[in-house]
Structure 1
Amino acid sequence: MSPSVSTASRVVDAVVEKYADELVDLRRDLHAHPELSWSEHRTTDLVARRMAEAGWRVDRLLPTGLVAELGSSGPVIALRADLDALAVTDTTDDPWMSTTPGVAHACGHDVHTAALVGAGLALAELHAQGRNRGRFRLLFQPAEEIMPGGALEMLEAGVLAEVSHVFGLHCDPSIDVGTVGLREGPITGAADALDVTLTGKGGHTSRPHLTEDLTFALGKLITELPAILSRRLDPRAGVSVVWGLVAAGGAPNVIPATGRVAGTVRMLDAVAWADAEHLVRDLVRQVLEPYGVTARIVYHRGVPPVVNAHTSTHILGRAAEMVVGEDGRQSTSQSLGGEDFGWFLERVPGAMARLGTRTPDGPTYDLHQGNLRIDERAVTIGARVLAHAAVLAQHLS
């Protein structure tokens, strides 16, 4: 490691340590006041004010979210965090539990945001000391939790102009705090949303032959679409259709005239993803045709896999080792979870790592659940990893 990088690294660690309590307090504040996609106004205001105080040039390109930049020339290294929460009820009893009914930071975006603020404070100090050789750009992105994600709007606003690498982190409550999971190549899956509404002639359950037995047709769709799709796509694509919503009927002796089923279509392979919508629509119609019902199919194309670039993954891995040591860096597998950071990586090289948030020997939580708890040491670890990655990438550019 060059002397300049070593010095910069010491500055990063010292600044993050200096602001550690503030960063944890920020995470708790965000957790207590979660905001849904495209409604992250309070969150945006808090972050914008703190970044401006630290000397960043802040630009609000969209209704929510912001871009902050330091430096005036040279290669741009970008760091990204997401701001939004989920329509989930916080079931913890922590003092900082959500004060907004039915909304919670159940995916760790409060940690991502606080960590990026911490990285921003460290990079601002480097800039003030004249150790910034190029430009740093922070992307505080809105609306990650909806498809196809706020990343597309940020891309349209030009946030990746002149960017040579972009880095991000995502909380992983299945691995211990002090651990960072990395993988070169695809680390997440493609994810789409499927919503099918059926209509048909209802009637009495004693005379199903005089109806279009919509409930039976709905059941066939629920079980047969996943099975058929698995035989029509290469099994290496890892396709998964899982239903999250099923609704039909209101009485046990009445065949309803309407029904609905909705879920997600996920796969590991971007090539299969390109053809998935057409195939799914065709198969839904084929499954339902014998029953005479009418189907309204709404297919929302979601996000591509996050594909970590070789050099970017090496940089992010080296940054992780600087923070958690070689033992703290571990390989991780590709998941079927969707993440709109993939849209950024279709444009420029970059990488995302998994940030361990489980307390050692403590319970294992799951994302998107109201009981999610985070070991808050992950906030400063994430801040240091992001800042170190930015410094290393800048010196390599």
Structure 2
Amino acid sequence: MIDGVKKDIEKLSGKIIEWRRDFHRHPEIAYEEKRTSSVIRQFLEGLDIPVSACAKTGLRGILEGRPGGKTVALRADIDALPLKEEGDKEYISENPEAAHACGHDGHMAILMGTAEVLSHRKDQFKGNVVFLFQPSEERIPGGAKKMIEEGALKGVDAVFGLHLWQPLPTGFVGIVKGAMMAQPDAFTVTVRGKGGHGSMPHTTVDPILVASHLVVNIQSIVSRNVDPLKPVVVSFGTVKGGTIYNIIPGEVSLTGTVRTFDSSIQSLAEKRLKEIVEETCKTFGATAEFEYEKGYPSLINPEGMTDFVLEVTRNTLGEDRIQEIDPVMGGEDFAYFLQKVPGAFLFFGMGDGMEFPHHHPAFDLDEKALPRATLLMTSLALEFLAAKE
């Protein structure tokens, strides 16, 4: 069957690229993916795949093969990022406030291609394929959890997902057994002091000075509180305060992120952040408000399902298409799916000639990866359904 599938995808490759470019021109951010959802719904219904809304703008389609058998789910995220795209590509975003700068446009096109190929072969396999088009992957708390709450995984025996990955060469697959992606938490610190004239700092409680010490002191969490053999990141993303050069402001706000694979390290980092903020502010006579928001859980690939993905990759793309990778500190709410049913998440390379990384305003992807990724997703579904219990 695989040879026929390859031929089907070769014929479909131009359409897959067209779908991706259409989504790229019309990006929509989390829970605003109305046009996106409408396009996908019409496409699935045109294949006689029943579709239901899930998690506001998300969709769940189910393709029924021959009676009996298992049910496998395949997922693509559909949201864009809230940034203005840069560059001169012919399919540049027509929405000045959003851009597909992470590859989700490609994910949708891949899953649509998979759906079309499988829909024409539904009499050749036993079981069902569920297509999950998920909103809001980019915005915590994410859309995966809400989809699960609304029944997206009902009756599902396994779930697979991929992310097009710029650091990997085009057509290569990277996957990690166990912890592959981190838990991405966020925190906000608001330092409140006493403002005044820049020429009379002795009459103030300078929140800029306090914030500066906070940034330095908090680095000790990684260097002195956590076992150096256990990965953790604590980074600041913004520091905001003041309006003019000669006024010491009354308030400074800081935001940052904590990334870790280990829940006990996450708890330690949260605890130490709060303590350091409180004690540092007290030292200078300031006060602080501390907020901590837990992100998605760490994405954990089960060993058996990871081996299954590697086996299918070898059989479909070749042994030489597998590249060993390390875990990454990025977050991914596909982790929620893997907490509920067996499955696996993989990176699919599309980096040939692509200079700009994910989330860069000029990000793009090597479209030669799209048909190859479609072949892999299709093969994962067919091989899982064909495998013995």
Same fold (TM over 0.5): yes
Instruction: Tell me, yes or no, if structure 1 residue 120 matches structure 2 residue 115.
Output: yes
DSSP 3-state at the match of 1:155: helix
TM-score between the two structures when normalised by the length of structure 1 = 0.93
Is it true that 1:47 corresponds to 2:40 in the alignment?
yes
The offset of 1:38, in angstroms, is 0.7
Structure 1 residue 310 and structure 2 residue 303: aligned? yes
Matched with 2:372 is 381
Q: Is the 8 A contact 1:229 1:280 kept in 2?
A: no
Aligned to 2:6: 13
1:57-104 C-alpha deviation (Å, 9 max, x unpaired): 111022201011112643211111100011122112100011111311
The aligned residue for residue 102 of structure 2 is: 107
Structure 1: which 5+ residue stretches go unaligned? 1-6
Matched, 1:26 2:19: yes
Matching residue of 2:292 = 299
Distance 2:371 2:267 in 1: 38
Give the drift of 1:229.
4.6
Could you tell me how far apart the structure 1 residues matched to 2:89 and 2:366 are? Answer: 12
Aligned to 1:76: 71
Q: In 2 relative to 1, CA 142–244 (structure 1 residues): closer, same or farther, beyond 3 Å?
A: same
The AA in structure 2 aligned to 1:269 is: D
CA distance in 1, matches of 2:174, 2:136: 24
Separation of aligned partners in 2, 1:350 and 1:256: 51
What is the 5 A alignment of 1:82-231? 82-127=77-122, 130-231=123-224
Equivalent residue in structure 1 for 2:248, among 246, 255, 262: 255
In the alignment, structure 1 residue 395 sits paired with structure 2 residue 389: no
Alignment match of 2:260 (pick from 258, 262, 267): 267
Question: Mean alpha-carbon deviation: is it higher for 345-354 or for 70-79?
Answer: 70-79
Q: Distance in 2 between matches of 1:85 and 1:252?
A: 37
SS of the residue aligned with 2:336? helix
Aligned partners of 1:254 and 1:18: how far apart in 2?
A: 66
Determine if contact 2:258/2:266 at 8 Å carries over to the other structure.
no
Q: Distance in 1 between matches of 2:151 and 2:269?
A: 29
> 1:199 and 1:40, CA in 2 relative to 1: closer, same or farther beyond 3 A?
same
Q: How far apart, CA to CA, are the structure 2 residues paired with 1:279 and 1:166? A: 37
Report the Cα distance in structure 1 between the residues aligned to 2:175 and 2:187, rounded to whole angstroms.
Answer: 30
For 1:241-291, what per-residue CA distance to the aligned partner results, in whole angstroms no more than 9, with x for missing partners?
112211111122211011111121111323323554344323322232212
Please point out which of 356, 359, 373 is paired with 1:368: 359
Post-superposition Cα deviations, 1:201-251, rounded to whole Å, max 9, x if no partner, equal: 111223222211100011111222132354223333311111221111112
- RMSD, matched Cα: 1.6
Query: C-alpha distance in 2, partners of 1:171/1:312?
Result: 19
Moved over 6 A (4+): none
Residue matched to 2:312: 319
Contact map agreement 2:354 2:364 (CA 8 A) in 1: no
Q: Which runs of 5+ in 2 are unaligned?
A: none
- Aligned mates of 1:305, 1:216 — CA distance in 2: 35
* Partner SS, residue 245 of structure 1: strand
How far apart are the structure 1 equivalents of 2:266 and 2:157? 27
> 1:67 corresponds to which letter in structure 2?
R
Separation (CA, whole Å) in 2 of partners of 1:190 and 1:95? 36
Once residues 229 and 76 of structure 2 are traced to their aligned partners in structure 1, the CA distance between those partners, rounded to angstroms, is 31
Instruction: Note the 1:337-356 alignment, pairs <5 A.
Output: 337-356=330-349
Cα deviation 1:157-176 (Å, max 9, x = unaligned): 12122222111111111121
State the secondary structure of the residue aligned to 1:111.
helix
Q: Which amino acid aligns with 1:379?
A: L
- Does structure 2 retain, via aligned residues, the 8 Å contact 1:177–1:357? yes
Q: 2: distance between equivalents of 1:98 and 1:139? A: 24
CA deviations on 1:90-149 (whole Å, 9 max, x unpaired) are: 11210001111131111101111111111111121221xx12211111111000001121
Q: Distance in 2 between matches of 1:236 and 1:112?
A: 34
SS at match of 1:307: strand
